[in-house]
Amino acid sequence: MSTASGRAILDYNGNTLTGRFELIAKERSGDIDAPFDFDNVETFRKWGDKYVSKTFTRGSDTPEILVATASGRATLRD
């Protein structure tokens, strides 16, 4: 799930998190929020802008879950 200028919120509502999770936000105008430590943090350029990608894996590499925003907040809730 993604949004250009708003909140992208994925709420697991207490269900078990399994898979590879990636949260992406534009470095200067976006924000990433999750109640977990990340395995990896990277920055990259896309369309002339700098983005931050934070990932972690729980239990298995699948499914792959993406939560992204440009100028909003990418949030994962357990």
Name the residue ranges covered by the structural domains of the chain: 2-77
Q: 65 near 34, Cβ under 8 Å?
A: no
Sheet order of strands, 19-26 included? 2-3, 64-69, 19-26, 49-58, 40-46
Q: Encoding tokens for residue 12?
A: 């697991």
According to the model, what pLDDT value does residue 36 have? 85
Element (H, E) at 68: strand 64-69
Question: For the whole model, what pTM was predicted?
Answer: 0.91
- Given a cut of 90, whether residue 5 has pLDDT beyond it is no
- Given a cut of 90, whether residue 12 has pLDDT beyond it is yes
Average pLDDT, the chain: 94
From 26, 34, 33, select the one nearest 71 (Cα to Cα): 26
Overall average pLDDT of the 24-52 stretch: 94
